[in-house]
Structure 1
Amino acid sequence: MKVVIFSQFFPPEMEPSGFMFGSLAKFLAKGEKIEKVDVICGFANFPSGKFIDRKWYSLFKRSRQDGVNIHNVIVVPSNNKSNIKRILNYTSYLFTGILKGVFIKSPDVVIATSPPIFAALAGLIVAKLKGAKFVLDVRDIWPESAVQMGSINNKKIISILEWIELLLYKNASLITVATPGMVDIVRSKIPKQNTPIKYIPCGVAIPADNDLERVGVSPFQEIDHGKFCVLYGGLHGHAQNLTTLVDAASLLKKRDDIVFYFIGSGPDKDRVVEYASSLGLSNIKFLSPVTRDEIRRYYIFAGCAIVPLQDLQIFKNVFPSKTFELMSYGVPTVVGVGGEIGKLIESSGAGQSVKPESPEDYSNAIVRYADDESYRNKVSLSAIETAKNSFDYEVVNNEFEELLDSLRN
């Protein structure tokens, strides 16, 4: 079986679906069931909106890593601050992805992950042109999530995107989704079809035991060594509404032993920094993005970490993938999402689930971790165990491979 994967974002970009399909591609390539694996992705520019090197000058570039043929295609870079640039970013991949895809010989299966929905559309078009089976991977219900967030308001545009969404569902031989709740959501959109819809979570690479040890000097600023460091590391976007965490920090400003670190970038970072500055808080530090290896050093030395999202109904059916990586490193986590991930966190004892966008709930959960080392250690062990049992890339990738195998004629 020959497989082509359409994933607009791909390592080294710090984007969850890219890491997921990077891991899957390598897993499939080293196995015996898949003859050839090609990945079509954009030149890395997320989330800064700037290309990380000059390889994009070639417009199209082919390389081979771990047995996988990686095809980078030119896209209009975007940092998601401008709606126009974001649209150009997505649509440019649609066209260049199709252009590259038509030159890949005889794929049996085309896998495409959404969002962005145009990346999935590129995969569907190439699958149709090549006579291949189409597998749609849904990491977020789109455009519904964008509409609820207020990112899209134009009714005509929403109608077009919903038409594309249904087109993708109806033409898929297999649909994989990020959470159990999404199975029913997608099924409700195509009630007359019996297309298999399977839950495949974003997995995580389980670190070795010795990688979890606190060795060397803490990466947090020296002045904060010995303090309880609260970490948010990731995209500073509108969906996260990080001003809620700033308000939580304000509630804890008299706790000299607790300090907040925000690491990363994104379209909402300037607003969050300005808001924190307006409150005159001295217990918040904003740092630029770091590499994946560097952020893992912060995980090891952090007192706890935060996974926030806005209090929207659509987010009740998502599993923020950052949660699983934090769990794998045994980081005591406060998850402000609710819904399915909240139930998972509470039932497994792998963290604390709080009401989204509630500064009081966040601050109370942080204080509980800071003041109770025994509880912290208990949560850490439960988090590691849950990650190993349910979200190990080896487990997730094997499940995906078995689903692909079921598509053979």
Structure 2
Amino acid sequence: MKILIISQYWAPENGVPQRRWSWLTGILEEQGHLVTVIAPPPHYNRSPSLGEWWKSGSFRARTEHETINHAETVVRTGFFPAGRSLTQRILNQAAVAAAALWVIGKKPGVLRNYQPDLIIGSVPALPTSVVTYIASKRFKAPYVIDLRDAWPDLISEHERWNSGLGDPSFREKVLSRGPVQVLGFVTKWAMNYSLRESDGLIVTSSLLGKALKERFDEQQKSVDKPISVIRNVFPPEINQRVSEHEERSADCLNVLYAGTLGRAQNLTNAIRAVARTGEGGYQVNLRFVGAGAARQELVRLAKDLNVKVEFSSKLAADELAEQYKWADTALVHLTDWPALEQAVPSKTYELMNLGIHISAVASGETMELIEALEAGHVVAPESPEALAQLWMKLIDEPRLLDVSTVGAKWVAEERVNVAPREFLRMIDNFETD
């Protein structure tokens, strides 16, 4: 089959969406499918200045063949430089979506006589679902939406998106008085429409798949609409258990958070928990490795609470492996938005694969998986006291930090057998004789 993938994130950029689709593209190509991609060039990890952007001609489309890891053809769209603020991200995603629509409408170069058998749109970014719907009309082909998070339900939490970022800016105050609500309503309606009209859905958690099926049943839109659960169990950058752990101290706990310092995490909760352990006479050493919109507020809060917290930028795989050896436990952290009960951070699977004890602040499916697979301990979101009590208990009873191999074996089975089988079963629905 000829399969067209539409995404705003693609290799060689290194992130969860990119790694997920490098893995899935490999599965498709192993079965003989021909993959063509519409995506912007790498620009999220290093956002160029407006001058660099203009001089490089990054607003123009171009075609790439034979990428580093796979043989897909990539049509690179134009883009507008991204930023960390919500406003800049919305502008970037809108610009990339508009550029993708131009490519779809114009069908330049390799797309001139191209006719896909199936179109897959990867969300996020949010506009991709609408772009995919329009592409299905342009190419007269069925389409599937790969819904990586609990969208569009997360849009309902827009009033709390910046709750962990400190005091709102003047721009945020102005936009929140009407424009954000209107944009949120339109985006949610458009996404729901594109999901309802899709010929199939791919989700990353069973709870999200169940919720969508129930929603479509109520709307009588679920007839013959396949929904596949394909978890974020793509091959990790560090692919072996951390066996050479540094000797544990009897009177402290080393806690590592490696991931996005973002809105959905609200990691101020973890810093407040460290402060509470100090008040109880315990020592918790917390390290953040990563970047995100909340970093500045986390640094400020740690200083205000007089809590020693280490911050490091995103590290290469070999450097991150050293951090894992240092850690007694790794933190998986989500805030208390109801939609996040249907989400499972991809870091959860990586930590299970490595055999590192997980201190999880979560509910819903993340909680269920960690507890069922004996991968660590879970406390409720937005309760610094509960997290502090867990960490103090781990110091008092260090044997609790030992985890079984159940989680690692389950992740391996999902990656090697379950996910590929479910993915190809979805693709087979659109095979023609």
1:221 match: none
Q: Which moved more, 1:205-214 or 1:163-172?
A: 205-214
Q: Distance in 2 between matches of 1:156 and 1:106?
A: 36
1:205 and 2:235 equivalent? yes
Match of 2:192 among 166, 182, 200: 166
Report the 3-state secondary structure (helix = DSSP H, G, I; strand = E; otherwise coil) of the residue aligned with 1:117.
coil
Report the 3-state secondary structure (helix = DSSP H, G, I; strand = E; otherwise coil) of the residue aligned with 2:256.
strand
Matched to 2:228, the amino acid is: K
Match of 2:100 among 97, 100, 103: 97
Q: Are the structure 2 counterparts of residues 367 and 256 from structure 1 closer, same or farther at C-alpha, using a change threshold of 3 Å?
A: closer
Report the 3-state secondary structure (helix = DSSP H, G, I; strand = E; otherwise coil) of the residue aligned with 1:77.
coil
Q: Distance in 2 between matches of 1:341 and 1:397?
A: 22
Q: Distance in 1 between matches of 2:381 and 2:8?
A: 29
Q: Are the structure 2 counterparts of residues 253 and 329 from structure 1 closer, same or farther at C-alpha, using a change threshold of 3 Å?
A: same
1:128 and 2:132 equivalent? no
List runs of 5+ in structure 1 lacking aligned partners.
Answer: 219-223
TM-score by length of structure 2 reads: 0.82
Q: How does 1:10-409 map to 2 (within 5 A)?
A: 10-32=10-32, 34=33, 36-46=34-44, 49-50=47-48, 57-58=57-58, 59-61=60-62, 62-65=64-67, 66-83=70-87, 85-101=88-104, 102-103=107-108, 104=111, 105-150=114-159, 151=161, 154-190=180-216, 191-193=219-221, 194=223, 195-205=225-235, 212-214=242-244, 228-253=253-278, 258-282=284-308, 284-377=309-402, 379-390=403-414, 392=415, 395-409=418-432
Q: Residues 219-262 of structure 1: CA distance to partner in whole angstroms, max 9, x if unpaired?
A: xxxxx9x9742111111112111111111111233767631101
Q: Residues 88-129 of structure 1: CA distance to partner in whole angstroms, max 9, x if unpaired?
A: 111111122233343431111111122222122222222221
Q: Distance in 2 between matches of 1:45 and 1:369?
A: 41
Contact 1:26/1:68 (8 A) holds in 2: no
Contact 1:334/1:352 (8 A) holds in 2: yes
Report the 3-state secondary structure (helix = DSSP H, G, I; strand = E; otherwise coil) of the residue aligned with 1:258.
strand
Matched to 2:220, the amino acid is: K
Q: Distance in 1 between matches of 2:56 and 2:428?
A: 35
Q: Which moved more, 1:332-341 or 1:397-406?
A: 397-406
1:5 match: 5
Q: Are the structure 2 counterparts of residues 211 and 179 from structure 1 closer, same or farther at C-alpha, using a change threshold of 3 Å?
A: closer
Matched to 1:147, the amino acid is: S
Matched to 1:200, the amino acid is: I
Contact 2:231/2:419 (8 A) holds in 1: yes
1:350 deviates by 1.4
TM-score by length of structure 1 reads: 0.87
Q: Are the structure 2 counterparts of residues 294 and 69 from structure 1 closer, same or farther at C-alpha, using a change threshold of 3 Å?
A: farther
What percent identity do the matched residue pairs reach? Answer: 23
Q: Distance in 2 between matches of 1:365 and 1:45?
A: 40
Q: Distance in 1 between matches of 2:40 and 2:396?
A: 46
1:371 deviates by 4.4
Q: Are the structure 2 counterparts of residues 372 and 14 from structure 1 closer, same or farther at C-alpha, using a change threshold of 3 Å?
A: farther
Matched to 2:143, the amino acid is: F
Matched to 1:318, the amino acid is: A
Matched to 2:201, the amino acid is: I
List runs of 5+ in structure 2 lacking aligned partners.
Answer: 162-175
Matched to 1:376, the amino acid is: L
Q: Distance in 2 between matches of 1:361 and 1:142?
A: 29
Q: Distance in 2 between matches of 1:90 and 1:129?
A: 21
Q: Distance in 1 between matches of 2:94 and 2:214?
A: 28
Report the 3-state secondary structure (helix = DSSP H, G, I; strand = E; otherwise coil) of the residue aligned with 2:300.
helix
What value does the CA root-mean-square deviation take over the aligned residues?
2.8
1:394 deviates by 5.4
Contact 2:239/2:354 (8 A) holds in 1: no
Q: Distance in 1 between matches of 2:158 and 2:390?
A: 26
Matched to 1:197, the amino acid is: I
Report the 3-state secondary structure (helix = DSSP H, G, I; strand = E; otherwise coil) of the residue aligned with 1:136.
strand
Q: Distance in 1 between matches of 2:117 and 2:261?
A: 39
1:293 deviates by 4.6
Contact 1:11/1:19 (8 A) holds in 2: yes
Contact 1:6/1:113 (8 A) holds in 2: yes
Q: Are the structure 2 counterparts of residues 43 and 372 from structure 1 closer, same or farther at C-alpha, using a change threshold of 3 Å?
A: farther
1:375 deviates by 2.8
